[in-house]
Each structure stands twice: as structure tokens, then as C-alpha cells.
């Protein structure tokens, strides 16, 4: 049994000839897996939010490369060029999650080393990326739980569990590890407009037998005011070298609110999320999705006076972060030091 097969919740399943992707748009009402049979299918699954979460996107893309090699190697003498073209296509599927580009770089290096039967080496690389992510999540879970020993209540945002990773989760992995050690009140914000908190985090925690209280995003300030929250625990789609963090839209607002209410703020992410080529958060390209995700159809006409601004992520400055947790260690008060550079 592989590491990924041990997880209760699995966003991605490699079958040997296809990648099964849990359609997260249909949760929690319907648990449906779609088969991705080539790199185009994987790219479409990422673009359409069928699969989401920075680590899971990277893993899915890695298997997309495997499917590309599997398709082209036996059919063309120019299979390398066709695989490289598929890699370029996969790289364009989502712009913010740095794990995507890291995973594809790993696959390109492996591809360049393959001469005989390249599928074996390429598949081994994808499986390693997948299983290393699960191992990193478990390590982060324990390190983060060490910081929550005196906490009574935590609030999380978006979905950062097995649905967003290879398995177990980043921020949700910390909550899972902490809940096994102690009594803990867990709160999840809805996370509009895709409701990842309401649809995914609430469902995933219920699958793990962890009670959770759902709140409207706009209730977070008042919840903190009541004293119910000791820590906000979130994931990341990209971390800059100085410790600024791009994450799901609404994360920055929670960090500001946490500062106001003396609530601690934890970011949990694997080292693959760190972009060493970017020093500060203002250099991160923030993805904006179509306004139809926010607007009813009556406002989508060409002559409509109503429009929508739909950024998917925001950037939390390092000054608002209490701790950054990775599989290599924990950086406390990262603004006072060198960000995450000490973990490099």
C-alpha cells in the first residue's frame, strides 16, 4: 500500500494509466472522480478548479507529464518536443501556485536524463513528488501542533487539507495533529466566492471525525472579539524569501484582524511553496478570475453597469505573521529575522 492510499480523503489517485481527480466543485453533495487520460485533461482540471490547492496542483501536473510521455513516446520520434509542449501548457494552467512550476521543473530534469524506457523514470519522479508531499505534511502537522499546545480555539481559511495536497494537509494537517493531542475548537470560514471552507474543509474535517463550526467570512472579527480564537492557521500558494505570503483571498484580512485582537497567525506550507526568486510580496502576480464567478447572469450583459473584481489571492506581509511552519522547521516572528532564508 502506497502512502497516498492510506489517506481517508484523496484528491488524486494514480491508476497506472490515468489520473483520477476528485471533482471538488461537486463536494460535499457528490463524490465523483473524473479520469484524466492525457496532459490536456490535467490542464483543464487545474484551470476549471476540479483540482485546486498549490501542492495538489503541482502533483497533478507531474502526473500530467507522465501521461504525456505515455501518450507520445510510442507514437512519435519527436516525442520529447511534444512532451515539452505539454509541460508548457501545464505551466500556464494557474499562475500563482509556485508548486506547479517546481514540480514541472523536477519533471523536466528527470526527462532530460531518460534515454531508455523514459516512462519508468518519469513515473517514479511523479510518485516521489506525491509521496514526499504527504511525508512533509505529516512533519508540518507535528511541528505546527507543538505551537498550539495551549490553544483552545483555531480559525482556518479556504481548504488546506488532503483535498489541497498529496494527503493529510498543511494548515489542516496541523489542526488534525493538534486535535489528536488535545481538545480544540475548530472554526472554518466559508471562503467566498468558491466556498472552499464551507464545501471542502467542513466536509473533510467531518470525514476525519473532527467537529468544526462554520462561520460567515464577515463574522471572523466578531468571533475574535469574543476571545474564542487563539490562532489563525492558514496555508500558502507562494511564500517570498522575506516571508510575505500569497494565499486565498481573505487571508490578508484575517491577518489584520488577528493583529488587532492579539490573535496569533500561523502559515503552514512545504518548502516547495517558497519562491526564492521573489523577495517581496508586491512582486507576486495575483491571478484574477472571471467576474461571472461573482455576478448573477443578469449583470453579465455587455451593456450592464455592474461589474466585479475577482482576485483569487491576496498577499499577507510578513509583519503580520507569528510563525511560518515548513517540513524543514519553524520560523517564529519571521519579520524580525531573514524571513524564510534560514531554512534554505
Q: Which backbone phi and psi does 263 adopt, to 5 degrees?
A: -100, 135
41 is annotated as an active-site residue? no
Query: What is the spatial distance between Cα 71 and Cα 201, in angstroms, rounded to a whole number?
Result: 35
| C-beta separation of 248 from 238 below 8 A | no
Consecutive H or E run containing 265:
strand 264-268
Q: CA dist 267 to 26, 40, 85, Å?
A: 27, 32, 35
Reported residue count of the chain is 344
Catalytic annotation, pick one of 34, 41, 230, 237: 237
Q: CB-based contacts of 54: which residues, under 8 Å, 6+ apart?
A: 97, 98, 99, 100, 164, 235, 236, 237, 238, 269, 273
Give the Cα separation of 327 and 268 in Å (integer): 9
- Residues serving a catalytic function are 237
Amino acid at each position: 500500500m502506497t502512502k497516498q492510499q492510506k489517506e481517508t480523503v484523496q484528491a488524486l489517485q494514480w491508476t497506472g494509466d490515468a489520473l483520477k481527480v476528485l471533482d471538488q466543485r461537486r463536494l460535499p453533495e457528490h463524490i465523483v472522480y473524473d479520469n484524466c487520460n492525457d496532459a490536456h485533461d490535467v490542464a483543464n482540471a487545474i484551470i476549471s478548479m476540479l483540482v485546486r490547492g498549490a501542492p495538489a496542483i503541482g502533483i497533478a501536473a507531474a502526473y500530467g507529464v507522465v501521461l504525456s510521455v505515455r501518450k507520445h513516446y510510442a507514437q512519435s520520434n519527436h516525442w520529447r518536443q511534444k512532451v515539452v509542449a505539454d509541460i508548457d501548457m501545464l505551466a500556464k494552467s494557474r499562475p500563482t501556485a509556485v508548486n506547479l512550476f517546481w514540480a514541472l521543473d523536477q519533471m523536466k530534469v528527470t526527462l532530460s536524463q531518460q534515454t531508455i524506457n523514459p516512462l519508468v523514470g518519469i513515473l517514479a519522479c511523479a510518485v516521489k513528488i506525491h509521496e514526499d508531499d504527504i511525508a512533509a505534511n505529516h512533519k508540518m502537522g507535528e511541528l505546527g501542533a507543538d505551537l498550539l499546545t495551549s490553544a483552545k480555539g483555531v480559525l482556518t481559511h479556504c481548504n488546506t487539507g488532503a483535498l489541497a495536497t498529496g494527503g493529510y494537509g498543511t494548515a489542516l494537517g496541523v489542526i488534525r495533529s493538534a486535535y489528536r493531542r488535545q481538545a480544540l475548537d475548530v472554526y472554518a470560514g466559508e471562503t467566498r466566492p468558491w466556498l472552499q471552507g464551507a464545501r471542502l474543509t467542513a466536509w473533510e474535517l467531518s470525514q476525519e471525525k473532527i467537529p468544526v463550526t462554520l462561520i460567515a467570512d464577515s463574522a471572523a472579527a466578531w468571533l475574535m472579539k469574543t476571545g474564542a480564537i487563539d490562532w489563525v492557521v492558514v496555508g500558502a500558494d507562494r511564500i517570498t524569501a522575506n516571508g510575505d505570503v500569497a494565499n486565498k483571498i481573505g487571508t490578508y484580512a484575517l491577518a489584520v484582524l488577528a493583529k488587532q485582537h492579539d490573535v496569533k497567525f500561523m502559515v503552514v506550507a512545504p518548502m516547495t511553496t517558497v519562491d526564492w526568486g521573489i523577495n517581496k510580496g508586491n512582486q507576486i502576480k495575483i491571478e484574477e478570475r472571471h467576474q461571472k464567478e461573482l455576478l448573477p447572469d443578469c449583470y453579465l450583459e455587455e451593456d450592464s453597469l455592474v461589474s466585479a473584481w475577482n482576485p483569487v489571492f491576496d498577499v499577507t506581509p510578513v509583519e503580520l505573521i507569528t510563525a511560518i511552519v515548513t517540513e524543514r522547521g519553524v520560523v517564529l516572528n519571521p519579520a524580525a529575522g531573514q524571513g524564510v532564508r534560514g531554512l534554505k
